[in-house]
Amino acid sequence: MVRINYGVLEFDHIVEFTRDSTVFAAARENGSGHLRLFLITEAGNVYTRNGRADSWEQLTDSDRDTIIARIIAAKNNIPTYKINGSHN
Protein backbone atom coordinates (compact mmCIF):
# COMPACT_ATOMS: atom_id res chain seq x y z
CA MET A 1 0.00 0.00 0.00
CA VAL A 2 1.32 3.43 -0.93
CA ARG A 3 1.49 5.92 1.91
CA ILE A 4 -0.24 9.22 1.17
CA ASN A 5 1.78 12.36 1.84
CA TYR A 6 -0.93 14.47 3.48
CA GLY A 7 1.39 17.49 3.66
CA VAL A 8 1.33 18.08 -0.12
CA LEU A 9 -2.39 17.85 -0.80
CA GLU A 10 -4.06 20.81 -2.55
CA PHE A 11 -7.33 21.52 -0.76
CA ASP A 12 -10.18 22.42 -3.10
CA HIS A 13 -13.19 23.24 -0.92
CA ILE A 14 -14.69 22.82 2.53
CA VAL A 15 -18.29 22.10 3.59
CA GLU A 16 -19.23 22.94 7.18
CA PHE A 17 -22.37 21.39 8.67
CA THR A 18 -23.21 23.74 11.53
CA ARG A 19 -25.93 21.65 13.18
CA ASP A 20 -23.62 18.76 14.07
CA SER A 21 -20.29 20.64 13.95
CA THR A 22 -18.74 18.46 11.26
CA VAL A 23 -16.55 19.48 8.36
CA PHE A 24 -15.98 17.80 5.02
CA ALA A 25 -12.94 18.81 2.98
CA ALA A 26 -11.91 17.81 -0.54
CA ALA A 27 -8.29 17.80 -1.68
CA ARG A 28 -6.30 16.60 -4.68
CA GLU A 29 -2.98 14.82 -4.62
CA ASN A 30 -0.21 16.73 -6.38
CA GLY A 31 0.91 14.88 -9.46
CA SER A 32 -1.76 12.18 -9.71
CA GLY A 33 -4.75 14.47 -9.17
CA HIS A 34 -6.56 11.80 -7.13
CA LEU A 35 -9.39 13.23 -5.06
CA ARG A 36 -9.20 12.77 -1.29
CA LEU A 37 -12.16 13.38 1.02
CA PHE A 38 -11.89 14.11 4.72
CA LEU A 39 -14.45 14.26 7.54
CA ILE A 40 -13.67 16.05 10.80
CA THR A 41 -16.09 15.49 13.65
CA GLU A 42 -16.96 17.75 16.56
CA ALA A 43 -14.82 15.52 18.80
CA GLY A 44 -11.78 16.21 16.60
CA ASN A 45 -11.66 12.81 14.95
CA VAL A 46 -10.43 12.87 11.35
CA TYR A 47 -11.49 10.31 8.76
CA THR A 48 -10.46 9.84 5.15
CA ARG A 49 -12.55 8.11 2.52
CA ASN A 50 -11.21 4.87 1.07
CA GLY A 51 -13.18 4.46 -2.15
CA ARG A 52 -11.71 1.07 -2.99
CA ALA A 53 -12.82 -0.38 0.34
CA ASP A 54 -16.01 1.73 0.41
CA SER A 55 -15.26 2.86 3.95
CA TRP A 56 -14.04 5.74 6.10
CA GLU A 57 -10.67 5.23 7.81
CA GLN A 58 -9.67 7.14 10.92
CA LEU A 59 -6.44 9.12 10.83
CA THR A 60 -4.42 9.38 14.02
CA ASP A 61 -1.36 11.11 15.43
CA SER A 62 0.66 13.21 13.00
CA ASP A 63 -1.60 12.44 9.99
CA ARG A 64 -4.60 13.75 11.92
CA ASP A 65 -2.70 16.84 13.06
CA THR A 66 -1.43 17.51 9.52
CA ILE A 67 -4.92 17.41 8.00
CA ILE A 68 -6.39 19.71 10.65
CA ALA A 69 -3.54 22.21 10.25
CA ARG A 70 -3.78 22.12 6.45
CA ILE A 71 -7.55 22.70 6.49
CA ILE A 72 -7.19 25.64 8.91
CA ALA A 73 -4.47 27.15 6.71
CA ALA A 74 -6.46 26.66 3.49
CA LYS A 75 -9.79 27.92 4.86
CA ASN A 76 -9.23 31.56 3.88
CA ASN A 77 -8.03 30.72 0.37
CA ILE A 78 -10.60 28.19 -0.88
CA PRO A 79 -14.41 28.12 -1.08
CA THR A 80 -16.07 27.28 2.22
CA TYR A 81 -19.73 26.34 2.16
CA LYS A 82 -21.73 26.57 5.39
CA ILE A 83 -24.86 24.47 5.64
CA ASN A 84 -27.28 24.91 8.50
CA GLY A 85 -27.99 21.23 8.79
CA SER A 86 -26.40 17.89 9.49
CA HIS A 87 -24.48 15.55 7.21
CA ASN A 88 -26.79 12.56 7.84
Tell me the pLDDT tens digit for each residue of 7-66: 889 999 999 998 889 999 999 988 788 899 999 999 999 999 988 888 999 999 999 999
CA dist 48 and 79 (Å) reads 20
CA dist 34 and 20 (Å) reads 28
Q: Please say whether the beta carbons of 21 and 39 come within 8 A.
A: no
Of the given ranges (3-7, 19-23, 68-72), which has the lowest mean pLDDT? 3-7
